[in-house]
Amino acid sequence: MNVPTGIVSHSRQVCSLYKRALRNVEAWYDHREIVRYRAVLLRKRFDDNRDVKDMAVAARLLEEGEKELFNTTHYQLVKKANSPGGCAYEREEVLDYWHPLEKAQYPEFFAKREERKKQYVQWWLQY
């Protein structure tokens, strides 16, 4: 759990809530068009309260949003593969920085690795 070391402004808290709510929507729905539709509805809810000038009302809305997010949080949030906690976090990145003389000791491994990296990039670009 992250512990804030400074004072976080209200606008930063709202942005954080919005991002976490979007990630929660992505976790609940697996079809891209449904996720997009729900994201647009979520954005409208945030935009409806964008011009609230009274800080007491804004703080209450933020607290209600945090409670709603807590009550609707998915039981298994999606973690991106290369993000902390993801299945590929810091995996084999060190091998990219080996010196060519070190790579020459394992030519088959690094040749196959480079081929798989190219295949992965092609696979990623097709979606």
> Residue range 74-87: average pLDDT?
81
From CA 90, how far away is CA 103, in angstroms rounded?
19
Percent of the chain with pLDDT over 70: 94
Tokens 């999606």 map to which residue? 78
Range of lowest pLDDT (16-20, 46-50, 80-84): 80-84
Which residue, among 41, 36, 43, has the nearest Cα to 14 in the 3D structure? 43
The domain locations on the chain are: 10-72, 79-127
The structure's pTM equals 0.65
